[in-house]
Structure 1
Amino acid sequence: MTNSRNAQARQTLVTGGTGKTGRRVTERLIARGAQPHVGSRSGTPPFSWEDPNTWEPALDGADSLYIAFQPDLAFPGAADIVGQLSRLAVDKGVHRIVVLSGRGEDGALAAEQAVQQAGAEWTVVRCSWFNQNFSESFFQPPVMAGELAVPAGDAMEPFVDADDIADVAVAALTDGAHAGKVYELTGPRLLSFDDIANELSQVTGRTIRYVRITDAEFRAYLKENDLPEELADLFSEVLDGRNAHLMDGVQQALGRAPKDFAQFAREAAAAGAWTP
Structure 2
Amino acid sequence: MAGIARADFTGSMTGDGEKRTTLVVGGTGKTGRRVVDRLRAADLPVLVGSRSGAPPFDWDDPGTWTAVLRGADSVYVTYYPDLAFPGAAAAIRAFARQAVASGARRLVLLSGRGEPEAQAAEQELRDSGADWTILRAAFFFQNFSEHFLLGPVLDGEIAMPAGEVGEPFVDAEDVADVAVAALTDDRHIGRVYELTGPRLLTFADAAAEIGEAAGRDVTYVPVTGEEYAAALSAEMPADEARALADLFESVLDGRNAHLSDDVRRVLGRPPRDFAEYAPDAAATGVWEAS
With normalisation by structure 1, the TM-score equals 0.96
Alignment pair present for 1:234 and 2:247:
yes
Aligned equivalents of 1:104 and 1:214: distance in 2?
A: 20
1:214 CA displacement: 2.0
Aligned equivalents of 1:8 and 1:234: distance in 2?
A: 42
Aligned equivalents of 1:100 and 1:158: distance in 2?
A: 17
Q: Aligned residue for 2:101?
A: 91
Matches within 5 A, 1:123-162: 123-162=133-172
Alignment pair present for 1:259 and 2:272:
yes
Which segment is superposed worse, 250-259 or 207-216? Answer: 207-216
- Unaligned runs of 5+ residues in structure 2 are 1-12
3-state SS in 1 of match to 2:85: coil
Q: Aligned residue for 1:274?
A: 287
Q: Aligned residue for 1:41?
A: 51
Q: Aligned residue for 1:210?
A: 220
Structure 1 letter corresponding to 2:188: H
Contact kept, 8 Å, 1:62 with 1:93, in 2: the verdict is yes
What CA deviation, in whole Å up to 9, does each residue of 1:117-157 have, x standing for no partner?
A: 11111111111200000011100000000000111111110
Alignment pair present for 1:55 and 2:68:
no
Contact kept, 8 Å, 1:8 with 1:34, in 2: the verdict is no
Which segment is superposed worse, 208-217 or 231-240? Answer: 208-217
The counterpart of 2:32, out of the listed 8, 22, 27, is 22
1:177 CA displacement: 1.2
Instruction: Give the total of aligned pairs.
Output: 274
1:74 CA displacement: 0.7
Q: Higher helix fraction: Structure 1 or Structure 2? A: 1
CA RMSD of aligned residues (A): 1.7
What CA deviation, in whole Å up to 9, does each residue of 1:207-226 have, x standing for no partner?
A: 00111222221111110122
Structure 1 letter corresponding to 2:151: P
Kindly report structure 1 stretches of 4+ aligned residues shifted beyond 4 Å. Answer: 4-8
Contact kept, 8 Å, 1:183 with 1:252, in 2: the verdict is no
What CA deviation, in whole Å up to 9, does each residue of 1:176-196 have, x standing for no partner?
A: 111111111100010001101
Aligned equivalents of 2:265 and 2:156: distance in 1?
A: 37
The counterpart of 2:209, out of the listed 195, 199, 203, is 199
Aligned equivalents of 1:115 and 1:62: distance in 2?
A: 17
